[in-house]
Structure 1
Amino acid sequence: MRYSGTLLLSTLDEDPIIDVLGVANQYGFQDLKMAILNYLRQYLALDNVCMILDAARLYNLEKVTEVCLMFMDRNADDVLLHDTFDKPI
């Protein structure tokens, strides 16, 4: 079987997408990395912004980090109250 180079990101949850992003970043698959980053930026939401920010920081993706922080700044009240925001104990 031959790989077609097609990956339907819309069929995946954020966790596997972040995993594929890590592999693309590690092995230098720039086209795949950019496609994933563009997808994540389009679908940034309250329920995934913290996870995407963590991944962006882990992989030193400055543009994605900046986009996440701007989203969080614009939606600070909602982000702070959302279940995905890591609250101190």
Structure 2
Amino acid sequence: ARVKARIIGEHGKARKTLEEMTGTYISVKESYVAIIGSYEHANVAREAIEMLIRGQRHSSVYRFLERAMREIKRRETLELWRSFKPLTK
């Protein structure tokens, strides 16, 4: 129950923050957590949830999420630039 409470947070705030930061949907039941989202984003959310389960502070987890999502965004932007084909005459 304590672990579930850490993931959900007061009035669902922690879960909502995790969802907003990762762009995923998170469902917390009695003995499992389901994450719906892109593979990369869901993996980041899973790691964050595991950090909460291990007892890390919410603020530390949120900092981890900021860094991880910034890196994903950087990689996605880089991939877009690499796929860009200049117009030729």
TM-score bucket of the superposed structures, by smaller chain: under 0.3
Q: TM-score under structure 2 normalisation?
A: 0.25
> Which is strand-richer, 1 or 2?
2
Q: TM-score under structure 1 normalisation?
A: 0.25
Look at both structures and tell me which one has the larger radius of gyration over its CA atoms.
2
